[in-house]
Amino acid sequence: MARESAPACSPASAPASGRRAAEAGREARDPAGAGRAAAGFASRSDAGGKGRVCDCLVLGAGASGLAFALRLCELGRSCIVLDHAREPGRKLSLAGGGRANFTSAQLAEAAYLCRTPAFVPPVLDAFSAMGMVRLVEELGLPWEKRPGGKYFLKTEAGALVRALLSRIRQTGLAEIQLERSFGPGDVEVTARGARVRTREGGRFEARHLAVALGSPACPASGATGLGYALAQRLGHAVLAPEAALAPLLLPEGSPLLGLQGISLPARLDVEGVDGKRHSFTDDLLFTHQGISGPCVLKASLFWKRGTALALNLLPGLDASDLLGDESAGRGTPRSLLARHLPQKLCDALLPGELAKRRAAEIKKSVRREILERFTKFTFVPRGIAGLRQAEVCRGGVDCAEVEPLAFFSRLNPRVSFVGEVLDVTGLLGGFNLHWAFASGWLAAEALARSLAS
């Protein structure tokens, strides 16, 4: 990616024709004139930033930060985006297996975990699944709807990053500064605005600060816990972050250990940290240390540590008569169950003394107990895989201290929080990427209105 020196980041520094185009395109999401000079991408070799003041400093060049920057610039306001990474949107480029599952037709409050229940619904109402689809279309990207109502790009996820950057450049009102190192102590917020000093010698100032730093989940994508640390320094409560959408670890001695590589549909019933019971039916994969796959990742979002999960390995099948007198014939529990499940899995859960006896010779009460090993197998995971294997974190900045829909800090109106840094975590299937875009987009609109007033 070419990195160029950038123009001063100020609405007044852009050509008048560009400002008029930005104003005219506020409702149409027009990128404000293709003929405008492109905002640059500065690397560490150019410390930059000295003496410049813009409308907003955006910390984080991930999905929520880029969505925020684009919408703010479309509305005629300027911003500087700061990120420690060498390239913007790294985690976004990996999303959806590299195809960016960007939203879901099943978008609903129930798909999210947030300890402030009233925070999520108005955001989903204001920025719907179809709203996200329209944005993808306006960015010129092809998409497809897959089973389960999942929306994916028909091209690589990196194309979404490039499209966002291109539109941001076209506005002429943004500057993206990469490879900028800063810690919580390098960020200052006052009644007049925000200031960030980078360890490369840069100094950046703005009227507002938007924190879009994500969570420490998936550190291979460059993720860190800086957003949480900064929020705490600014006086905000941070609900304890935990790995989510991650594999679960089986207890020592579990009969399900040693089944790595086996994959099958399953249902998991879980007691949630939100006090509700949740049930998920999807593919499950046995691993060396536990269980993974979409079914497990979804359950991990809500699982309350120390509580038991109920596993059904025969979902969608009426197993009540599977070992019955008429259907069993001369079959054994081992042979009858192997018609529906891998033999190795059957052997792991069947009592050895009963596995090879004719089912018709076994008491009905015992047959029922055998079936429950496969339809109501309960266990308490010894934990959840760490942040390295997690797709997201649950927990984050307490949403009770953030204005619903506008995303302004209730402790300091010069600050906004967007994206995964907030205590809002969605299920697998496009919900988290949708939240990143929705929160960034709506927060930028709220800031533009506030600055105009």
Reported as type and span, the H/E element at residue 271 is strand 263-271
Last residue of a domain, which of 353, 384, 415?
A: 384
| Angle, CA 182 vertex, CA 181 and CA 183 arms, to 5° | 140
User: Given this model, what pLDDT does residue 38 score?
Assistant: 36
Nearest to 111 by CA among 348, 371, 438: 438
Q: Beta 174-177 vs 41-42: how paired, if at all?
A: parallel
C-alpha torsion sign, points 396, 400, 401, 406? positive
Do residues 162 and 143 share a domain?
A: yes
- Distance from the Cα of residue 365 to its chain's centroid: 46
User: Given this model, what pLDDT does residue 111 score?
Assistant: 97
The verdict on residue 3 lying in a domain is: no
354: domain CATH number is 2.40.30.10
Do residues 357 and 395 share a domain?
A: no
The verdict on residue 6 lying in a domain is: no
User: Do residues 133 and 103 make contact, with C-beta atoms less than 8 angstroms apart?
Assistant: yes
- Cα–Cα distances in angstroms (integers) from residue 391 to residues 163, 228, 388, in the given order: 23, 17, 8
The verdict on residue 5 lying in a domain is: no
Give the structural domain span for 326: 248-384
User: Given this model, what pLDDT does residue 5 score?
Assistant: 31
Do residues 123 and 190 share a domain?
A: yes
User: Given this model, what pLDDT does residue 50 score?
Assistant: 55
User: Given this model, what pLDDT does residue 52 score?
Assistant: 65
Do residues 232 and 252 share a domain?
A: no
User: Given this model, what pLDDT does residue 41 score?
Assistant: 52
Residue 135 identity (one-letter amino acid): L
Do residues 199 and 274 share a domain?
A: no
- Cα–Cα distances in angstroms (integers) from residue 133 to residues 89, 104, 129, in the given order: 19, 10, 6
User: Given this model, what pLDDT does residue 323 score?
Assistant: 78
The verdict on residue 160 lying in a domain is: yes
Half-sphere exposure for 297 (CA within 13 Å, toward CB) = 19
Nearest to 449 by CA among 72, 46, 8: 72
User: Given this model, what pLDDT does residue 63 score?
Assistant: 97
Return per-residue pLDDT of the chain as tens, 453 residues.
333 333 334 333 333 333 333 333 333 333 333 322 334 555 444 445 555 689 999 999 999 999 999 999 999 999 999 999 999 999 999 999 999 999 999 999 999 999 998 999 999 999 999 999 999 999 999 999 999 999 999 999 999 999 999 999 999 999 999 999 999 999 999 999 999 999 999 999 999 999 999 999 999 888 999 999 999 999 999 999 999 999 999 999 999 999 999 999 999 999 999 999 999 999 999 999 999 999 999 999 999 999 999 999 999 888 777 877 565 667 899 999 999 999 999 999 998 888 888 888 888 899 899 999 999 999 999 999 999 999 999 999 999 999 999 999 999 999 999 999 999 999 999 999 999 999 999 999 999 999 998
Do residues 227 and 283 share a domain?
A: no
The verdict on residue 287 lying in a domain is: yes
What is the value of pTM for the model shown?
A: 0.88
Reduce the DSSP state of residue 84 to 3 states and report it: coil
Do residues 176 and 81 share a domain?
A: yes
Do residues 380 and 393 share a domain?
A: no
Do residues 180 and 256 share a domain?
A: no
Domain count, the chain: 2
First CA to last CA distance, the chain: 37
User: Given this model, what pLDDT does residue 2 score?
Assistant: 34
Do residues 364 and 446 share a domain?
A: no
The verdict on residue 349 lying in a domain is: yes
The verdict on residue 396 lying in a domain is: yes
Last residue of a domain, which of 367, 384, 401?
A: 384
Nearest to 404 by CA among 188, 109, 105: 109
